[in-house]
Amino acid sequence: MNTSNTSNTHGRPPDLPEKSHDEPKQEALATEHEENLTFTMTHNPNKRLFPPLSPDRRAALKQSIVEHGVNTPAIVDEDGGVVDGFERVSICQELGQDCPTIQRTFAGKWEKMEVALDQNCARRQLGRQQKHELIRACLLRDPTISDNGLASKIGGVSKNKVKEVRDELIAACLIDNVEKRRGADGKRYPAKRVVVNTAKEVEAVSKIIRDLPDSCNGKLIDVTTASRRARAHHRREIRQGQVIQPLPDDAIKLYHCPFQKLEKTANIAANSAHLLLTDIVYGKAFLGELAELAPLAQRILVDKGLFVTYCGQYDLDEVLAILGRSLTYRWVAASVWSSGANRIFPLNLRSNWKPIVIFSKGDWRERSRWGDLFHSKREKDWHDWQQSLADAESLVEHFSRPGDLVVDPCAGSFTNAVACRNLSRRFFGCDKDEQAVLKGQARLAAGNAFTSQPTNNNPELSNPRHSCPK
- For residues 53 and 44, which has the higher predicted lDDT (pLDDT)? 53
Query: Among 140-154, 181-195, 226-240, which stretch is predicted with the lowest mean pLDDT?
Result: 181-195
Q: What is the CA radius of gyration of the chain?
A: 24
Domains of the chain: 25-120 (3.90.1530), 128-239 (no CATH), 252-466 (3.40.50.150)
Confidence of residue 24 (pLDDT cuts 50, 70, 90): very low
- What one-character-per-residue DSSP string does 83-104 give? EE-HHHHHHHHHHT-PPPEEE-
Mean pLDDT of the chain: 76
Across 181-194, average pLDDT: 59
Return the pLDDT at 329: 96
Residue 459 pLDDT > 50, yes or no?
A: no
- For residues 40 and 243, which has the higher predicted lDDT (pLDDT)? 243
Across 291-310, average pLDDT: 95
Return the pLDDT at 9: 36
- Measure the CA–CA gap between 261 and 204, rounded to whole angstroms: 50
**72, 64 in Cβ contact below 8 A?**
no
Residue 16 pLDDT > 70, yes or no?
A: no
Please list, residue by residue across 17-50, b when 16 or more beta carbons sit within 10 angstroms of its beta carbon and e when fewer do: eeeeeeebeeeeeeeeebbbbbbbbbbeeebbbb
Residue 125 pLDDT > 80, yes or no?
A: no
pTM: 0.49
User: Could you report the per-residue pLDDT of 406-436, keeping only the tens digit for each?
Assistant: 999 999 889 999 999 988 899 999 999 999 8
Across 222-237, average pLDDT: 79
Please list, residue by residue across 450-465, b when 16 or more beta carbons sit within 10 angstroms of its beta carbon and e when fewer do: bbbebeeeeeebeebe
User: Could you report the per-residue pLDDT of 365-400, keeping only the tens digit for each?
Assistant: 776 678 888 877 766 566 666 788 888 988 998 899
User: Could you report the per-residue pLDDT of 61-102, keeping only the tens digit for each?
Assistant: 889 889 888 888 777 765 667 878 888 888 988 998 888 877
Residue 261's contacts (CB-CB under 8 Å, 6 or more residues apart) are: 430
- With pLDDT > 90 as the criterion, what percentage of the chain qualifies? 24
- For residues 130 and 253, which has the higher predicted lDDT (pLDDT)? 253
Confidence of residue 215 (pLDDT cuts 50, 70, 90): confident
- Measure the CA–CA gap between 90 and 83, rounded to whole angstroms: 13
